[in-house]
């Protein structure tokens, strides 16, 4: 009796799907949650780099345990005129932006950079206000928040706690296999914060360490062993650079 062995069909995850080849130029053109690619167990993180005066960077990445890709990144910059007209304009716009991103992409966790203690009192207070709005938006959506210091982020992503912004941009580009350097630097910092959390979460699960919160689990296989962009293979990630001003 002949025995026929049926080869199982392996579904290949194509990051460059037809629906993802379009370059998005505005927030309205961003991929909504309903039409975004199926997650298939991927762990998704929203990284935020709050700023007291400059743009607030944000970046959304996800990992399947082997590969990590960028979904969207950008920076929110509120026009000086609007800031003069409304005292809480920055806080209002940051809150609205984060709520919109969380509704569209449904991240499993939010990673935010902590307040730098070396700042002067006035700048630190302004930064704390923006950071408070970030925490509020996450709490309203029931998303776990993880905080990392600038030194932790740089050491995790670049391997050096004193890395400058240019080094961070290059390392973020390499780890995410992007074909362009993320701009502005605030957006690259936000992507770095998200990468830092992914690596920290993976280490906690690998060594059985207690987590900070009972959030979704990260796939077990490593994704952060890449230190340079793969040569000879073209990657066409969605490169979304958004600067919003009102």
List active site positions. 49, 113, 186
Return d(Cα 17, Cα 12) in angstroms, integer.
11
CB 102 within 8 A of CB 137: yes
> How many angstroms separate the CA atoms of 236 and 177, rounded?
9
Both tokens of 37, joined, read 């690619």
Q: Are 155 and 195 in contact (CB under 8 A)?
A: no
Using alpha carbons only, give the angle 76, 198, 234 rounded to the nearest 5 degrees: 75
C-alpha span between 228 and 83 (Å, rounded): 40
């Amino acid at each position: 009796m002949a025995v026929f062995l049926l080869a199982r069909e392996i579904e290949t995850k194509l990051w460059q799907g037809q629906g993802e080849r379009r370059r998005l130029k505005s927030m309205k053109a961003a991929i909504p949650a309903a039409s975004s690619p199926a997650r298939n167990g991927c762990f998704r993180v929203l990284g935020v780099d709050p700023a007291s005066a400059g743009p607030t960077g944000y970046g959304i990445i996800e990992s399947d345990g082997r590969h990590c890709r960028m979904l969207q990144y950008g920076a929110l910059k509120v026009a000086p005129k609007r800031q003069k007209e409304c005292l809480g304009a920055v806080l209002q716009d940051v809150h609205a932006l984060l709520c919109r991103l969380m509704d569209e992409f449904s991240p499993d966790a939010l990673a935010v950079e902590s307040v730098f203690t070396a700042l002067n009192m006035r700048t630190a207070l302004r930064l704390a206000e923006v950071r408070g709005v970030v925490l509020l938006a996450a709490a309203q959506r029931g998303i776990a928040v993880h905080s990392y210091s600038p030194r932790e982020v740089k050491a995790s992503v670049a391997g050096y706690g004193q890395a400058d912004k240019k080094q961070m941009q290059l390392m973020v580009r390499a780890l995410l296999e992007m074909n362009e350097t993320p701009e502005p630097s605030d957006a690259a910092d936000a992507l770095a914060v998200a990468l830092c959390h992914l690596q920290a979460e993976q280490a906690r699960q690998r060594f059985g360490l207690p987590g900070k919160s009972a959030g979704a689990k990260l796939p077990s296989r490593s994704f952060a062993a890449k230190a340079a962009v793969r040569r000879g293979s073209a990657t066409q990630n969605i490169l979304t650079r958004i600067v919003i001003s009102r």
